[in-house]
């Protein structure tokens, strides 16, 4: 995927996400392969409700950086404090974390931190990975 337009990057506030994320059992489904990917397209769903939600490894720098330094630093800071950085990239909720590639464990940890951000136990989230 090409780097997002810097003008289309903004902070996503977990308190402004749809209420159903904190009430209903939620499933995050990967729409692209996870293993070794640096950008995973996915979606959150509960019943009929859906929300696009991607995962992005913030430190990818070749052939060009995916994120500006300020967003990369913020991703590292959030992770260091047991959180995950939530951004809006081109209108899509995107969870950004330190690193250059995802694994199954990294994906689970990232979504567990999203659950924490919306104030629910991680066990309320189901994760469906695509190999």
pLDDT at 5 (0 to 100): 61
45: pLDDT strictly greater than 90: yes
pLDDT of residue 2: 60
Q: pLDDT (tens digit, 9 = 90+) per residue, 34-43?
A: 999 999 999 9
Q: Which ranges in the chain belong to alpha helices (H)?
A: 69-80, 104-117
Answer yes or no: is 1 within a domain.
Answer: no
Q: Which of 4-8, 18-22, 76-80 has the lowest mean pLDDT?
A: 4-8
Q: What is the pLDDT of residue 1?
A: 56
Q: What percent of the chain has pLDDT over 90?
A: 87
Let me know if residue 93 belongs to a domain. yes
pLDDT averaged over every residue in the chain? 94
Average pLDDT over residues 86-106: 95
**Exposed, middle or buried by CB within 10 Å (0-12, 13-18, 19+), for 117?**
buried
The pLDDT confidence band at residue 8, using thresholds 50, 70 and 90, is confident
Whether residue 98 lies inside any domain: the answer is: yes
Separation CA 98–CA 56 (nearest Å): 9
Name the pLDDT band for 63 (thresholds 50, 70, 90). confident
Query: First-to-last CA distance in the chain?
Result: 18
By residue range, what is the domain housing residue 100? 6-128
Q: Which residues pair with 128 in a beta bridge?
A: 29
Specify the number of domains making up the chain. 1
Residues 6+ apart with CB under 8 A from 63: none
């Amino acid at each position: 995927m090409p780097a997002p337009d810097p003008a289309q990057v903004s902070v996503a506030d977990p308190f402004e996400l749809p209420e159903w994320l904190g009430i209903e059992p939620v499933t995050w489904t990967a729409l692209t392969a996870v293993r070794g990917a640096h950008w995973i397209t996915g979606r959150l769903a509960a019943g009929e409700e859906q929300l696009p939600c991607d995962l992005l490894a913030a430190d990818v720098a070749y052939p060009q950086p995916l994120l500006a330094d300020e967003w990369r630093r913020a991703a590292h800071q959030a992770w260091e404090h047991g959180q995950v950085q939530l951004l809006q990239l081109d209108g899509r909720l995107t969870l950004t974390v330190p690193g250059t590639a995802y694994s199954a464990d990294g994906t689970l940890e990232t979504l567990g931190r999203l659950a924490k951000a919306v104030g629910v136990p991680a066990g309320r989230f189901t994760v469906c990975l695509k190999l």
